[in-house]
A and B are shown apart, each in its own frame.
Chain A
Amino acid sequence: DTAVSQTPKYLVTQMGNDKSIKCEQNLGHDTMYWYKQDSKKFLKIMFSYNNKELIINETVPNRFSPKSPDKAHLNLHINSLELGDSAVYFCASSQWPDQGNNEQFFGPGTRLTVL
């Protein structure tokens, strides 16, 4: 069974469209994350979320919004896609970071290409 799954694996879309990426974890974790990896392979956190708190990286445009229907899912919605949004997006989960001492489990990534 896949621990953290993401769909779709690849997403190609036109500028200006709205799209969503889904993430599910079956590990019973209480915290989930979205990361963006750019073309230079640099990972940057976008959001971390548990059932108590959403922490947003202030550099993330408000076109990006996380939606969590339940503890096992954290979906990423992107409105008005721009060329610069092209990247690989990773979902991850862990128990609450608690000083960062809990292992993160990553999904396989979603490669988004905006044309």
Chain B
Amino acid sequence: GEDVEQSLFLSVREGDSSVINCTYTDSSSTYLYWYKQEPGAGLQLLTYIFSNMDMKQDQRLTVLLNKKDKHLSLRIADTQTGDSAIYFCAEFYTGRRALTFGSGTRLQVQP
């Protein structure tokens, strides 16, 4: 995902909040997504945000979008060991017709 960048690794303690960041380059992006990939599994859609929104909350997940800086973040409240996985952000815009993924952030949750 050359157009979508993420840091590679994040380690947090159980019960803390995790914040995973993503930057994208295409200002025409219409939808931005967060996916979770557990070992040996496919990608699971966690949440998405439309480009005209600033924030979206879904239980323990909060997505923040800063369109000016082309910055997307995913906050996981009360992080659990089961949240350990690789998290991918992805952008979609109609000109490309397919999701472009970042390289993924590996979240490690320490008990």
- Are these two chains actual partners, yes or no? no
